[in-house]
Amino acid sequence: MRNGLRRLGLALVSVLGAAATATATAQEPDKFRFPPPELGPDYRQPETAFPAVRELLPPLADAAVLALALGLAAFLVHRHRRRSALLALTIAGVAWFGWLREGCICPVGSLQNVAQATADPNAPILVATILFFVLPLAAALFTGRTFCSGVCPLGAIQELVLLRPLRLPHWLAAGLSVLPVVYLLLAVLFAATGAGYLICRYDPFVGLFRLSATTNMLVVGGSLLVIAVFVGRPYCRFLCPYSVLLDWASRLSTRTVTISPVGCATCRLCEDRCPYDAILVPNAAAVAKSRLRGRTALVLLLAATPLLVAGMAWAGTHLGPWLASAHPRVALAEQVEAEQQGRARETTDASDVFRASGEKIEALLADAEDRRGTMALGSGIAGACLGLWLGLRLVGLGLRRTRRDYTADPATCLACGRCYEWCPVELERRRTGRAPEVRG
């Protein structure tokens, strides 16, 4: 474990050093994201008397804080193993990355910047934004989903309100787990095609952190927090698109969360206390009885996966023109065409500005048609990816992996530390200073 943490620390220091060198002469982030309007040569931007906390530190310093928080989370999850310390980190995560930093830069939203910059080489992107996207994923490859343990403000605020956790039916949780993948694909598609940043537009908690949310988003965010009192982190588990990437990375992790330091007492206390349904139960007897039936189902699922990919790709392609209406240029073209044909009751500000610009309507309509074709192609690829994910998910369910102990699922475990406080083997280790011998 010590060697793994040392490797992680060296990797993080190397990345931060390279980023600092690359951005020594970079422009300020607001010049990229919020270009100032041209108000005339005599206008002077007033200075802020009391700048916000987020304006006092450069983005790279914020990335360094994220790296330190990830390292601390790894230590608390794998070495210190105390729920109270993880809860303190959760409060700190909400306070710093949530309220003080106003939820921006956010690793969840940064995937849109990366997607746009990948599709458009001319799209500007800060190195700090890349770091916020990469660092939690790199940490997941070494230490599992320690970013979710208390560093992410979106998950931390839900963790703090979880008081009476209820267990969802397995079929319902499995069905809802498809939503983050759909959300991820749509967010990448919209960002890559220039249609907008869905995650930032519909983030349920950043508006609360900034105290500037619209009424609709206040309702959504408040509703999720009410649900989070009884259902463990509903946004993280059933909506967050970044959690899909963390899921994949954590499956390859060299170090995952362990419920007990050694062995398993099969007391089932961890299963009862986990609010995220992340405990994998022993199944050796069931696997032995259903091995032949499982092989037959696996062959059928493998054969059906290409059909599922083709079907979802076809559905995505036909859905593309409808999704393209979300693009500002396509929406403008539809409005202008409706006005031209007398189908619109009144003009809009956007259409008035377009007519005043002198651009030809034919050029606008041609541009909109090109964007519909691009969106159709992109949504077809997204549909194929969704079909492939569904096929692999079904194949994974058909695989019969033998487990003899209660273990934490590396993909869905959010490293909250609740199981530590109930595992008798862990408690005995704390009392005596050494792990007891447990018979298998």
C-alpha R_g of the chain: 25
Q: How many CB atoms lie within 10 A of CB 297?
A: 17
Q: State pLDDT tens for residues 56-77.
A: 567 788 899 999 999 999 999 9
Identify the H or E element spanning 279: strand 279-280
CA distances from 181 to 27, 149, 389 (A): 34, 21, 8
Residue by residue, DSSP assigns 377-416 as HHHHHHHHHHHHHHHHHHHHHH------S-EE-TTT----
Q: State pLDDT tens for residues 351-381.
A: 999 999 989 999 999 999 999 999 999 999 9
**pTM of the prediction?**
0.83
Provide the token pair at 357: 């610009």
Provide the token pair at 279: 């405990």
d(CA 369, CA 314): 19
CA dihedral of residues 224, 225, 230, 232 (deg, nearest 10): 80
CA dihedral of residues 291, 297, 301, 304 (deg, nearest 10): 150
Q: State pLDDT tens for residues 215-257.
A: 888 899 999 999 999 999 999 999 999 999 999 999 999 888 8
Q: State pLDDT tens for residues 297-354.
A: 777 888 889 999 999 999 999 999 999 999 999 999 999 999 988 898 889 999 999 9
The C-alpha angle with vertex 436 and arms to 431 and 439, in degrees rounded to 5, equals 150
The candidate with the shortest Cα–Cα distance to 110, out of 66, 144, 156, is: 66
Q: What pLDDT was estimated at residue 213?
A: 78
113, 124 in Cβ contact below 8 A? Answer: no
- Amino acid letter, 8: L
What's the whole-number mean pLDDT along residues 107-126? 92
359, 367 in Cβ contact below 8 A? Answer: no
pLDDT category of residue 437 using cuts at 50, 70 and 90: low
d(CA 320, CA 314): 10
Helix 178-193 to helix 107-119 angle, to the nearest 10 degrees? 40
pLDDT category of residue 131 using cuts at 50, 70 and 90: very high
203, 103 in Cβ contact below 8 A? Answer: yes
Identify the H or E element spanning 112: helix 107-119
- Domain spanning 259-282+403-440: CATH 3.30.70.20: yes
- Report DSSP state, residue 121: T
Q: Is the dihedral of CA 244, 250, 252, 258 positive or negative?
A: negative
Domain ranges of the chain: 2-26+55-256, 259-282+403-440, 291-398
- Report DSSP state, residue 277: -
Is residue 274 pLDDT above 70, yes or no?
yes
Q: How far apart are the first and last CA of the chain?
A: 24
Provide the token pair at 118: 């990948």
pLDDT category of residue 191 using cuts at 50, 70 and 90: very high
The candidate with the shortest Cα–Cα distance to 413, out of 6, 77, 71, 3, is: 77
CA distances from 60 to 14, 20, 56 (A): 13, 7, 12
Q: How many CB atoms lie within 10 A of CB 217?
A: 18
Is residue 16 pLDDT above 90, yes or no?
no
Q: What are phi and psi of 137, to 5 degrees?
A: -70, -40
The candidate with the shortest Cα–Cα distance to 125, out of 37, 201, 23, is: 23
d(CA 208, CA 119): 31
d(CA 228, CA 224): 6
d(CA 350, CA 401): 57
The candidate with the shortest Cα–Cα distance to 129, out of 37, 4, 23, is: 23
Is residue 110 pLDDT above 70, yes or no?
yes
Q: Which ranges of 197-345 does DSSP label H, i.e. alpha helix?
A: 198-201, 206-210, 215-228, 234-238, 242-251, 269-273, 284-289, 291-324, 328-340
269, 423 in Cβ contact below 8 A? Answer: yes
Provide the token pair at 402: 């033998």
